[in-house]
Amino acid sequence: MAGRIPQQFIDDLLNRVDIVEVIDSRVPLKKKGKEYTACCPFHSEKTPSFTVSQNKQFYHCFGCKANGSAIGFLMEYEHMSFPDAIEELARSQGIEVPYEGGQRPDPALKKAQTDLYELMADANQFYQTQLRQHADAEIAIRYLKERGLSGEVAKDFGIGYAPDGWDNLLKALGTTKEREKGLVTAGMLIKKDNGKCYDRFRDRIMFPIRDRRGRCIAFGGRILPKDTPNDKDAKYLNSPETPLFHKGRELYGLYEARQALRDIPRLMVVEGYMDVVALAQFGVRNAVATLGTATTPDHLQRLFQLTSEVVFCFDGDRAGKDAAWRALQTCLPEMRDGRETRFMFLPDGEDPDSYIRKIGKEAFESEVKQSQTFSEYLFKQLTEEADISGIGGRAKLVETARPMLSQMPEGIYRKLMFEQLEKLGRVELSTSTSAPQTNRRSRAFRQAAKKSSASMTPVRKAITYLLHQPTVAKAWHDTGRNSEILKTLDLPGMDLLLEVLEILRINPNLSTSALIERWRETPSGSHLAKLASEQPELEDDAALEVEFIATMDALLKQSVDHRYDDLQAKLDHSTLNETEMAEYKMLLQQLYAAKSASKSD
């Protein structure tokens, strides 16, 4: 297929790079026995469960189950596409990526994306320059100064100024038709029906919104405080959704928080950009803001990748309370053990900016730390709504709370929440009601995982051995045994086992990760990754080889028996054709040979 990267190249590339080096340069690793460990970059933790195996060229986290090859790591950690991750690894080795047909798929699209990032960087630069130089920037500067903002923090956050007028940005950056088109796509210009374009952001303080890698992907613009505010202008204006910007995923200030802090014990979600920036001015560098939306599950996942505690900071008014309750509901499925969310309500009429100004950093931070926990807030809210001194109220409480708590992932936290509900409702909830169906699967999975390899099916065992030591495939092929007949055995996973064996027959030197790469983004791929992550109980390579061949032999015997029974049954009722007869005779021979071998033992 044109534009594809040849498999051979990917294999060779994964052979050349060392995953330990790739990860270590981004997440410093410590050597521990045969493997390398670190605190997981994909979930928040205090003791390392992130493990990198040099042997398998594979990483794996026992906590969040993240796993993959060097390619997979770059895709996850750097948010790269598959071809980009390969390009990056190839670059590190000083080699060029070949594409079938000589071309990268849709290079125009790729270039267009790069151009958009460049245009956004240019726009950011333009606005920052305007803040320093434009004659009208004075009001903006005065506003920022009144909020106590230092030049340093303004620079950290890349704050700028979009001058009043319809075509400032257009004139400065839209120098060619192509750039103009790009600026429209990036949401910076608006195209009228007659084809003419104009600036989206006018006479506003500009806050660049940066992605995880620090690239400007959108803007938030705040109107300037004027004597006669124009009511038609919204106070805040955000970039629209663009190929670079999806507001349900991005958080303002997250990049800056990561830059400023090494460890992030908690992240605070506030309402607006100005709150984030003002808190940063007071040395509170862990605040982020959603961008004109409520907190989404995507947001929460990103937050919990970086920290174990998320504090929502809301206005104390009705709107703030409604927003908090909505946030709590979004949190329910994310409340795994080890995570906490808190809810902080500001006094009437205060925003985080005015409040920290009034009480100071220390008092503010201690209020954050002491704000209501998830369980406190949830039960306080529900018991306020229902009078639990009577049976009716308690029934209402249980009725409302039970489906909510059922959304929590299984674990101690959930269990304690249900216990608290039982106490408040003065009822005993049967386990079947506290553990809804949706969690049965994961429980079954955990139980299955707990089973020792002794109770693993032979197919699963064989695949696991192949993943731990891909060279055992060669040992198997060297025995000269014919695996063909295994195809007749209808066992779960058999197709996959044979596929793995065949790939390793052709490419005997593949590493575990290169092997698994072939199933990227397929159910088999995640199944293989899971098996590869399991700790091998046979540390010795030689023992593993013996065990693998024994397992395969057992499967072979099973398929011979099975196939023989099939043919025998057919022979009893009708006749066999020529090939079947030949096969039948061959099987018969094999069975005799096996019998006499076991007798002589």
Name the residue nearer to Zn ion (CB basis): 147 or 302.
302
The neighbour count for residue 426, using CB atoms within 10 Å, is: 11
Stretch that binds Zn ion, among 40-48, 292-300, 566-574, 578-586 (CB under 5 A): 40-48
Nearest partner of 302 among 249, 342, 373, judged by Cα: 249
42 near Zn ion (CB under 5 A): yes
Range 378-407, binding Zn ion (CB under 5 A): none
Name the residue nearer to Zn ion (CB basis): 464 or 533.
533
306 near Zn ion (CB under 5 A): no
Beta bridge partners of 236: 222
DSSP string of 302-332?
HHHHH-SEEEEEEESSHHHHHHHHHHHHHHG
Residue type for position 468: H
Stretch that binds Zn ion, among 36-44, 69-77, 363-371, 382-390 (CB under 5 A): 36-44
Q: Any idea of the CA torsion for 349, 354, 357, 363, to the nearest 10 degrees?
A: 50
Q: Is 51 helix (H, G, I), strand (E, B) or coil?
A: strand
CB 541 within 8 A of CB 475: no
Shortest Å distance, C-beta 64 to Zn ion: 3
77 near Zn ion (CB under 5 A): no
Calculate the CA 559 to chain-centre distance: 42
Gap between the Cα atoms of 167 and 103, Å rounded: 38
Name the residue nearer to Zn ion (CB basis): 45 or 87.
45
What's the per-residue H, E or C state across 522-583? Answer: CHHHHHHHHHHHCCCCCCCHHHHHHHHHHHHHHHHHHHHHHHHHHHHHHHHHCCCCHHHHHH
Gap between the Cα atoms of 235 and 422, Å rounded: 46
CB 82 within 8 A of CB 68: no
Shortest Å distance, C-beta 442 to Zn ion: 17
63 near Zn ion (CB under 5 A): yes
Name the residue nearer to Zn ion (CB basis): 61 or 398.
61
Name the residue nearer to Zn ion (CB basis): 47 or 194.
47
342 near Zn ion (CB under 5 A): no
Name the residue nearer to Zn ion (CB basis): 181 or 258.
258
DSSP string of 197-236?
EEES--SEEEEEEE-TTS-EEEEEEEEPP-SS--TTS-SE
- With a CB cutoff of 8 Å and minimum separation 6, the contacts of 253 are 157, 273, 276, 277, 280, 287, 288, 289
Stretch that binds Zn ion, among 54-62, 281-289, 421-429, 523-531 (CB under 5 A): 54-62
43 near Zn ion (CB under 5 A): yes
One residue of 24, 64, 80, 562 binding Zn ion per CB under 5 A: 64
Nearest partner of 67 among 34, 19, 28, judged by Cα: 19
Shortest Å distance, C-beta 44 to Zn ion: 9
587 near Zn ion (CB under 5 A): no
Name the residue nearer to Zn ion (CB basis): 64 or 496.
64
The overall longest dimension of the chain from CA atoms, in Å, is 104
Stretch that binds Zn ion, among 55-63, 267-275, 492-500, 518-526 (CB under 5 A): 55-63
Name the residue nearer to Zn ion (CB basis): 61 or 89.
61
Please tell me the count of residues contacting Zn ion according to CB under 5 A. Answer: 6
CB 512 within 8 A of CB 470: yes
Shortest Å distance, C-beta 308 to Zn ion: 12
292 near Zn ion (CB under 5 A): no
C-alpha radius of gyration, the chain, whole number: 31
Name the residue nearer to Zn ion (CB basis): 390 or 411.
411
Shortest Å distance, C-beta 528 to Zn ion: 19
Stretch that binds Zn ion, among 43-51, 185-193, 375-383, 465-473 (CB under 5 A): 43-51
Report the interhelical angle of 7-16 vs 82-92 (nearest 10°): 50
Stretch that binds Zn ion, among 61-69, 168-176, 256-264, 556-564 (CB under 5 A): 61-69
Stretch that binds Zn ion, among 41-49, 128-136, 230-238, 480-488 (CB under 5 A): 41-49
Shortest Å distance, C-beta 52 to Zn ion: 12
String marking each residue 544-573 x if it binds Zn ion according to CB under 5 A:
------------------------------
Stretch that binds Zn ion, among 32-40, 384-392, 504-512, 590-598 (CB under 5 A): 32-40
Shortest Å distance, C-beta 480 to Zn ion: 44
40 near Zn ion (CB under 5 A): yes
CB 278 within 8 A of CB 322: no
Gap between the Cα atoms of 314 and 324, Å rounded: 7
52 near Zn ion (CB under 5 A): no
Nearest partner of 74 among 524, 518, 513, judged by Cα: 513
Shortest Å distance, C-beta 50 to Zn ion: 6
Stretch that binds Zn ion, among 37-45, 106-114, 263-271, 317-325 (CB under 5 A): 37-45
Footprint of Zn ion (CB under 5 A):
40, 42-43, 61, 63-64
